[in-house]
A = this chain, B = another copy of it.
């Protein structure tokens, strides 16, 4: 299921690789990276991004499962194929200079709620909303965009760019209908913290909807 090239990627610092690998293990333990779903990235420096390669099971990554692309998603080395969704990761890094890491996973609550939702999903009244920038209180609400799934990644990213252009401070996350969630932060710990907070609130939302 992988694209063949097996050499470790020496261009990715060990601590960055370990952070990405550990993120995959933690998400796998939660059931958030079924099959070969999910992909993760980290900004290495100006114009360079470490990203998971296409086809690998994200719960069992190794340094060989990673590669480096530029901010347009072009591989630094030939022979390895980056995640099919590389364009979405790079779209985050181009638009948000403060973003240092991004995580994409599939959870059951996210998949189910996004299939039933309109263009947005609002989360309100949760203490965990404090995980998001500018929200120091639980009395606020966040509105997660839910975009249509699309196999044309460039087209999907263009839609996100248009969405973000209208907002002074876009939320560092969005859902793709029937597909999953994207979340980012200044580094991998903050990205994972925001992902956990969102997934927790989505699970609460799903539970509440069952009770109606």
Contacts and interface: CB of A to CB of B under 8 A. Distances in A.
Interface of A: 1, 30-31, 34-37, 57, 106, 108-109, 111-112, 115-116, 125-128, 131, 136-138, 149, 151, 176-180, 189-190, 193-194, 196-197, 199-200, 203-204, 206-211
A203 B111 CA distance: 10
A128 B180 CA distance: 10
A210 B211 contact: yes
A34 B106 contact: no
Contacts of A194: 35
A151 B128 contact: no
A154 to B, nearest CB: 16
A203 B107 CA distance: 10
A176 B109 CA distance: 24
Highest count of chain B CB atoms <10 Å: which of A131, A200, A210: A200
B127 A149 contact: yes
Contact of A207 (B31, B36, B112): B112
A3 to B, nearest CB: 14
A37 B198 CA distance: 12
Contact of A138 (B109, B125, B151, B200): B151
A121 to B, nearest CB: 14
Given A34-B196, A34-B199, A211-B116, A178 B137 contact: no
Given A108-B200, A197-B34, A151 B136 contact: yes
